[in-house]
Amino acid sequence: MEDSRLDTMGVHMSFKPGKLQADAGDPSHGAQPAIQIHLDNPKLQAYLQRYPFAQGPDPEMNQLGRSAIAKGVKFRPTAPNTKTCLLKHEQTLLAAAEQSRAESLLDQIAIPDNEKRMYFDDFEWETNFVPRETKSVLVIGCGNGIELIFLRAVLPNARIMAIDYHDARLPKLGSTVGMQFLQGDICEHLASFDRSYDLIFSNHTLEHLYDPDEMLAIFARLLLPGGCLLSTLPMAGKAGTPFLPKVHRFAAQHDGNNEPRIHPLDLVYFDSGHPWKTNPDDLSSTVKRAGFKDVKIFQRENHISRPARLSPSQYHLKRRALVSMNRACIGPTQNTHHDLPPRNPRVAD
The pLDDT tens digits for 108-141 are 999 999 999 999 999 999 999 999 999 999 999 9
pLDDT tier at 304, thresholds 50, 70, 90: low
Query: What range does the domain containing 220 cover?
Result: 4-338
Percent of the chain residues topping a pLDDT of 90: 67
pLDDT tier at 171, thresholds 50, 70, 90: very high
Contact 125, 98 (CB under 8 A): no
The pLDDT tens digits for 222-263 are 999 999 999 999 999 998 888 899 999 999 988 766 678 898
pLDDT tier at 205, thresholds 50, 70, 90: very high
The pLDDT tens digits for 24-58 are 333 344 467 999 999 999 999 999 999 999 999 99
Q: In the β-sheet with 73-75, what is the strand arrangement from edge to edge?
A: 73-75, 35-37, 276-277
CA-wise closest residue to 287 among 206, 343, 203: 206
CA distances from 120 to 93, 99, 129, 172, 262 (A): 9, 9, 14, 19, 40
Helix (H, G, I), strand (E, B) or coil at 281: helix
pLDDT tier at 79, thresholds 50, 70, 90: very high
For 179-185, which contacts have Cβ atoms below 8 Å and span 24 or more sequence positions?
Answer: 179/148, 179/152, 181/142, 185/42
Contact 128, 92 (CB under 8 A): yes
Write down the pLDDT at residue 32: 76
Contact 228, 14 (CB under 8 A): yes
* Residue 234 located in a structural domain: yes
Write down the pLDDT at residue 311: 63
In this predicted model, which residue has the larger pLDDT, 323 or 140? 140
pLDDT beyond 70 at 326: no
**Cβ-Cβ contacts under 8 Å for 259 (sequence gap 6 or more):** 71
* Residue 45 located in a structural domain: yes
- HSE on the CB side for 63, CA within 13 Å? 3
* Residue 163 located in a structural domain: yes
Our CA angle for 286, 139, 172, nearest 5°, is 155
- pLDDT mean across residues, the chain: 85
The Cα–Cα gap between 46 and 143 comes to 16
What's the rounded mean pLDDT across residues 194-222? 96
* Residue 58 located in a structural domain: yes
Percent of the chain residues topping a pLDDT of 70: 77
Q: What DSSP string describes 212-241?
A: HHHHHHHHHHHEEEEEEEEEE---TTSTT-
* Residue 233 located in a structural domain: yes
Give φ, ψ of 65 to 5 degrees. -65, -45
* Residue 343 located in a structural domain: no
pLDDT beyond 70 at 323: no
Tell me the residue type at 326. N
Number of domain units in the chain: 1
pLDDT beyond 80 at 317: no
Contact 76, 35 (CB under 8 A): yes
* Residue 346 located in a structural domain: no
What's the rounded mean pLDDT across residues 205-218? 96
* Residue 348 located in a structural domain: no
Write down the pLDDT at residue 229: 96
Q: In the β-sheet with 85-87, what is the strand arrangement from edge to edge?
A: 12-14, 296-300, 85-87
pLDDT beyond 80 at 163: yes
Write down the pLDDT at residue 345: 45
Which CATH number goes with the domain that contains 98?
Answer: 3.40.50.150
